[in-house]
Amino acid sequence: MAEVLKALAGIINFIHDFLLSVSGALNLNLSDKDLHFWLIGIMGIVIFWAVDSVFKRLARWNISVISFVYTFTVLMVLVFGLEIEQGITGRGNMEFKDIVAGLWGFLVVFFAYLIIKTIFILPGKFWGRR
């Protein structure tokens, strides 16, 4: 896991240095803060357009699909953060397998929730009871 993070950091640093050199070559002279402002702003709006488009399509099915996607995304950020924290503090092992295990745990528990919902809640709605 540490090797993956170091490789990603190397890629990000390369892109950062490249963009700063392009900025200098074009006489834009963007500071690091300016670069972050524009890059994150542009990436954010592109991500928003993609997510908005996907969520509008998903909303046609059921709002719970969007809730699932959002929850899964939050959990991905959380488990990566937990593993990075373990690497920084030295408490526990920072491993990609831990991330996968945590996300599988959510999927299994969510599947169990769907089964319970199907068995106990949906029949009542079908027969007009709540």
Non-local CB neighbours of 58 within 8 Å, separated by 6+ positions: 65, 66, 69
pLDDT computed for residue 4 by the predictor:
77
Q: The whole model's pTM is what?
A: 0.66
Per-domain residue ranges for the chain? 1-60, 63-130
How far is it, in rounded angstroms, from Cα 107 to Cα 117?
A: 15
DSSP helix/strand/coil, 130: coil
pLDDT averaged over 10-residue windows placed end to end, the chain, 130 residues = 77 85 87 83 89 89 89 92 84 83 93 89 65
- Provide the pLDDT for residue 1: 65
Report the alpha-carbon distance of residue 109 to residue 85 in Å, rounded: 25
Length of the chain: 130
